[in-house]
Amino acid sequence: MTDTTLDPAIADLVRGAAWVTVCSGAGMSAESNVPTFRDAETGLWERFDPTELATPQAWSRDSAMVWAWYQWRAKLVRSTTPNPGHVALAEWADRRTVMVVTQNVDDLHERAGSAVTAHLHGSLFEPRCSHCDLPYSGIDADPEVATETLRVQPPSCPRCLSEVRPGVVWFGEPLPSHAWERAADAAAGCDLLIVVGTSGIVYPAASLPERALAAGIPVIEINPEPTPLSSLVTHFMQTTAAVGLPALLQEVPPAG
Ligand SMILES: NC(=O)c1ccc[n+]([C@@H]2O[C@H](COP(=O)([O-])OP(=O)(O)OC[C@H]3O[C@@H](n4cnc5c(N)ncnc54)[C@H](O)[C@@H]3O)[C@@H](O)[C@H]2O)c1
Ligand SMILES: [Zn+2]
């Protein structure tokens, strides 16, 4: 999208949709300065490959390094704010039914005012016991007090004394089944699915737009770069989340 004029077919779809489900990925938060996995990391962690730290193997090998990396990411997210894309989705929910399904582990949708239907890959802010799953909220899990070092010993679970782990889904781990069920329902029942800021290569999240298309539900994709999904969707908007979502919202008349 090189100008601000919206394709009339996209405008019609958006106006006619009473229930919109949005599937967001790391690109949703890029304009809030939360790096995607593909962006080069800066500083302390630049020589590490995030996809190698986000694994159960990395945790078994060096839990103190993995804990420190997640504490650093949580601290980074705390220092950012929602962008106009997040804000547009929260405002959209005042006018229509909007369900947000996100692969993001940040809390920027919530801070913009959206009720998130499913955090498919968990949250940076919900650590839990690695053995008994008890949620952990001790002060030593607060990223504000984490030190900027390459290793921080994870806290111990007050119930079973095992190590507390980040509340995220690592590569190779199954998604939390309740989150996946909510996401699948949100994608199957909506009038319009919007996919924004995801490279569409991490499954099963990437299957949600495919399922919607197979069920005859129109799908709009927003991404500054084409993805494997772009040639399959109903409309591909080659733009960013903070530009594309407010442009769509302009087409949605206020409720009442
Ligand atoms: N903010 C976060 O919570 C965060 C950050 C990094 C990684 N992750 C995790 O990384 C995994 C990677 O999958 P993914 O597909 O979400 O991310 P990804 O890094 O694989 O892909 C990001 C996509 O966003 C697009 N993009 C970049 N800037 C954009 C913008 N301004 N507006 C819209 N799109 C933009 C890119 O072209 C790319 O297609 C996920 O499991 C996710 O949990 C999360
Ligand atoms: Zn425990």
Q: What residue spans define the domains of the chain? A: 1-33+82-122+174-256, 35-79+128-165
105 lines ligand 1 (CB under 6 A): yes
Q: How far apart are CA 126 and CA 143, in angstroms?
A: 12
**Among 186-190, 198-202, 238-242, which stretch is predicted with the lowest mean pLDDT?**
198-202
For residue 143, the model assigns a pLDDT of 84
Q: If we measure between CA atoms, which residue out of 79, 96, 75, 76 comes closest to residue 14?
A: 96
For residue 69, the model assigns a pLDDT of 92
For residue 35, the model assigns a pLDDT of 85
For residue 2, the model assigns a pLDDT of 46
Average pLDDT over residues 171-175: 93
Average pLDDT over residues 132-161: 89
Tokens representing 224 are 């500054």
Closest C-alpha to ligand 1, atom 34? 197
For 126-140, write each residue's pLDDT tens digit: 999 999 999 999 988
Helix (H) or strand (E) holding 221: strand 219-222
Position in ligand 1 atom list of the atom nearest CA 39: 19
Position in ligand 1 atom list of the atom nearest CA 120: 43
The residues whose Cβ lies within 5 A of ligand 2, an ion, are 129, 131-132, 134, 157, 159-160, 162
For residue 231, the model assigns a pLDDT of 96
The number of residues making up the chain comes to 256
For residue 1, the model assigns a pLDDT of 46
**Pairing of the two strands 97-102 and 19-24:** parallel
pLDDT tier at 123, thresholds 50, 70, 90:
very high
239 lines ligand 1 (CB under 6 A): no
For 36-70, write each residue's pLDDT tens digit: 877 766 666 777 888 888 999 999 999 999 999 99
- Whether the Cβ atoms of residue 245 and residue 227 lie closer than 8 Å to each other: no
Does the pLDDT value for residue 106 go beyond 90? yes
Distant-in-sequence, close-in-space partners of 243: CB < 8 Å, separation ≥ 6: 1, 84, 85
123 lines ligand 1 (CB under 6 A): no
Q: If we measure between CA atoms, which residue out of 209, 211, 208 comes closest to residue 220?
A: 209
Closest C-alpha to ligand 1, atom 27? 27
Looking up tokens 């989340």, which residue turns up? 241
CATH class for the domain made up of 1-33+82-122+174-256 = alpha beta
Counting ligands in written order, the one closest to the CA of 165 is 2
- Whether the Cβ atoms of residue 249 and residue 92 lie closer than 8 Å to each other: yes
Q: How far apart are CA 244 and CA 92, in angstroms?
A: 13
Q: How far apart are CA 14 and CA 8, in angstroms?
A: 10
Does the pLDDT value for residue 104 go beyond 70? yes
- Whether the Cβ atoms of residue 242 and residue 84 lie closer than 8 Å to each other: yes
Average pLDDT over residues 113-127: 97
For residue 251, the model assigns a pLDDT of 97
**Among 29-43, 93-107, 117-131, 146-160, which stretch is predicted with the lowest mean pLDDT?**
29-43
End-to-end CA distance of the chain, in Å? 31
Closest C-alpha to ligand 1, atom 39? 199
102 lines ligand 1 (CB under 6 A): no
Position in ligand 1 atom list of the atom nearest CA 108: 1
Q: If we measure between CA atoms, which residue out of 18, 88, 86, 76 comes closest to residue 45?
A: 76
Query: Could you say which of 121, 131, 178, 235 is catalytic?
Result: 121
Pocket test for ligand 1, best of 180, 198, 230 (most atoms within 8 A of CB): 198
Does the pLDDT value for residue 177 go beyond 90? no
Average pLDDT over residues 21-42: 87
The backbone region for 168, taken as left when phi is positive above 0, alpha when psi lies in -120 to 50, beta otherwise, is beta
Pocket test for ligand 1, best of 24, 29, 33, 37 (most atoms within 8 A of CB): 37
Pick the more confident residue, 5 or 107: 107
**Among 146-150, 184-188, 191-195, which stretch is predicted with the lowest mean pLDDT?**
146-150
- Cis peptide leading into 204, omega within 30 of 0? yes
For residue 153, the model assigns a pLDDT of 94
Pick the more confident residue, 160 or 43: 160
| DSSP-derived 3-state class of residue 201 | coil
Q: How many CB atoms neighbour CB 61 within 10 A?
A: 11
Average pLDDT, the chain: 93
Distance 256 CA to ligand 1 centre (A): 35
Q: Catalytic: 119?
A: no
